A and B are shown apart, each in its own frame.
Chain A
């Protein structure tokens, strides 16, 4: 399974990548829009931070869905509160969110459960 991880914090990217790779996923990382632009978007899941310097992650996600015709599910990964994340997910028609309060291990569990549920649903 291939995961695209987008976050402007190098520290968050490094820790999340490390944990996801240890869990058996292939991970591509982008810390800004130019890096994201240079990556292959053929992935099974996108994890997207929300508050980034250049743009909000839900807007970037909408762009990936529209202009780039990205078919993979997109989850927001953010420290914003649950109500705001639910609203952003609904407005951008995304697939869900993972609160950063879940921590590194919690994020991996969310990803595992989400991908397993999708596999079962197919």
Chain B
């Protein structure tokens, strides 16, 4: 293990953790505060152990702010915006990653009614080498520019405008994901002109395989 390889791996790991932190700050997940604290503590520990002192100091400050964050994006609360600023500063302090490697990774964007419900799917996709962001809306779609958008949205009132917005904003493949049986998903997919539909009823690994086929 060389210093350069540690820097590269740390940068990639930290970027992934920061993305999760941003997802948590933007979402409405139950227990968001606890998960936020966990991600930041893991990052500060890694930074400290591997000798990235500046990053460690910044993350420690973020941990302190996170303890004051109410867990929802409350307009009255100052901790959320301050945390976002600090997350940007941490991202800027990371060692340079091998951007060619990072850019080569396919990116997925999951839009879910509740981000916490999509975390397991995100973790499995990331384990498979797909960089995955989770959000409740299309706000960061242009910024992330994913190859695939996975919609885990339960009502047509929300699903229809989301798919229309995704179609207008990107050329990404759109796949509907639900725990509903395939037959009911097929109707929605046909009506919306989605590129595919995946049911998690048959297990998560089957769903991930189907999503990867769409990515390919």
Name A's B-contacting residues (CB within 8 A). 8-12, 14-16, 18-19, 49, 51, 53, 78-79, 100-101, 103-104, 107
Can you list 10 pairs linking A and B with CB atoms under 8 Å apart? A9-B42, A9-B45, A11-B46, A11-B50, A15-B1, A15-B50, A78-B45, A79-B49, A104-B49, A104-B51
Please determine whether A79 and B41 come into contact, CB atoms closer than 8 angstroms.
yes
Main secondary structure of the interface of B (DSSP, over half): helix
Q: Output the nearest chain B residue to A98 by Cβ-Cβ distance.
A: B49
- Closest chain-A Cβ to B212's Cβ sits at a distance in Å of 22
Q: Output the nearest chain B residue to A49 by Cβ-Cβ distance.
A: B45
- Give the residues in chain B near A107, CB-CB below 8 Å: 49
Please determine whether A53 and B49 come into contact, CB atoms closer than 8 angstroms.
no
Q: Which of B5-13, B19-27, B153-161, B184-192 contacts A (4 or more CB under 8 A)?
A: B5-13
Main secondary structure of the interface of A (DSSP, over half): helix
CA distance A15 to B10 in the complex (A): 10
Please determine whether B46 and A18 come into contact, CB atoms closer than 8 angstroms.
no
Q: A103-B50, A104-B50 are contacts. A12–B45 as well, Cβ < 8 Å?
A: yes
Contact digits for B10-46, partner A, Cβ 8 Å, 1 yes 0 no: 1001000000000000000000000000100110111
Q: A11-B50, A18-B1 are contacts. A100–B45 as well, Cβ < 8 Å?
A: yes
Please determine whether B46 and A12 come into contact, CB atoms closer than 8 angstroms.
yes
- Closest chain-A Cβ to B60's Cβ sits at a distance in Å of 9
CA distance A23 to B50 in the complex (A): 17
- Closest chain-A Cβ to B32's Cβ sits at a distance in Å of 15
